[in-house]
Structure 1
Amino acid sequence: MVLKRTSLTQAECPVARSLDAIGDWWSLLIVRDAFDGISRFGEFRRSLGIAKGMLTARLRDLVDCGVLETAPASDGSAYQDYLLTEKGRALFPVVVALRQWGQEHLYAPAEPHSVLVDVATGSPVEKLELHSADGKPLGWSDTRVRKV
């Protein structure tokens, strides 16, 4: 029996719509790799260890929803590059937030892991925070969703 995936493209909740577009782990890992400079099908495949058919489908979906775009290969070869669009680059804080959450909650205290650093200084990037309009840090209990 094949289960049909429920579309969330018309959901009132922005989180649901976001998950509909980029919510499976392969899509987010492809986006992560694109931020790390990967742009070719074979490079994504080597990095992720993903099956060709699955990678083809995920890349197509990311292009269709405007997160990636295809372009002729930068080296002039017959290949094509998959490049982040403006919409895709806007996912950077999402990927950083997932990275920082994982670092904080999924590693033992002394366990080594990759670290996101500022290119200019080599220093680790500070933890993301939400702030109110007047600059006050906000936690989950300081906010609420105003539903439509």
Structure 2
Amino acid sequence: MVKRTSFDDSECPVARSVDAVGDWWSLLIVRDAFDGKRRFGEFQRSLGVAKNILTTRLRALVAGGILDQVPASDGSAYREYVLTPRGRDLFPVVVALRQWGEAHSFRPGEPHSRLVDRRDGRPLGPLRVRAGDGRDVTPDDTVVVKVEPVTTDPS
């Protein structure tokens, strides 16, 4: 098996985030956790993923602080997976991927699942990226400020 490149030491927040949840199985597990799935079997049935792959991804999400394993809510001997605060902070990421997919991955009129507000059953508004002062920003309005390389004094 090819060893995966790690971005643990990257100066880029996007690279480190992809390192934590960048493969599709991990993001789909997180999506399912937001949808209320908690048990290994629920994730496995929903995703149709091989048990060994699911086991590996769940362990990585637990190790990364995105999911936590807790005693089953029904008092049985099973363990369940729940989103941690770090995992719940992925909600806007999942919504952004969903909204991008709705806009670009379906033909007009093609049916797809919908994420709606529990209170009124209406679809969510589009996510917006805002500057610190509240105005909307686009990629043209931003720039990445790179970390200055650390130099060592040879003396």
Find out whether 1:147 has 2:142 as its counterpart.
no
Report percent identity of matched pairs. Answer: 63
Matches within 5 A, 1:1-148: 2-148=1-147
Opposite residue 146 of structure 1, the aligned amino acid is V
- Unpaired stretches in structure 2, ≥5 consecutive residues: 148-155
- Unpaired stretches in structure 1, ≥5 consecutive residues: none
**Distance apart, 1:64 and its partner CA:** 0.3
Q: For the residues of structure 2 that align with 1:22 and 1:133, how far apart are their CA atoms?
A: 27
Opposite residue 32 of structure 1, the aligned amino acid is R
Q: Deviations over 1:10-65 (max 9, x none)?
A: 00100000011100000000000000000000000000001110000000000000
- Alignment RMSD (CA, Å): 0.7
Q: For the residues of structure 2 that align with 1:8 and 1:133, how far apart are their CA atoms?
A: 28
Count the aligned residue pairs.
147
Q: For the residues of structure 1 that align with 2:76 and 2:42, how far apart are their CA atoms?
A: 15
Q: For the residues of structure 2 that align with 1:70 and 1:133, how far apart are their CA atoms?
A: 36
Q: For the residues of structure 2 that align with 1:73 and 1:106, how far apart are their CA atoms?
A: 36
Runs (4 or more) in structure 1 with deviation over 6 Å come to: none
Larger radius of gyration: 2
Q: For the residues of structure 2 that align with 1:61 and 1:53, how far apart are their CA atoms?
A: 12
**Distance apart, 1:115 and its partner CA:** 1.1
SS state at 1:61 partner: helix
SS state at 1:130 partner: coil
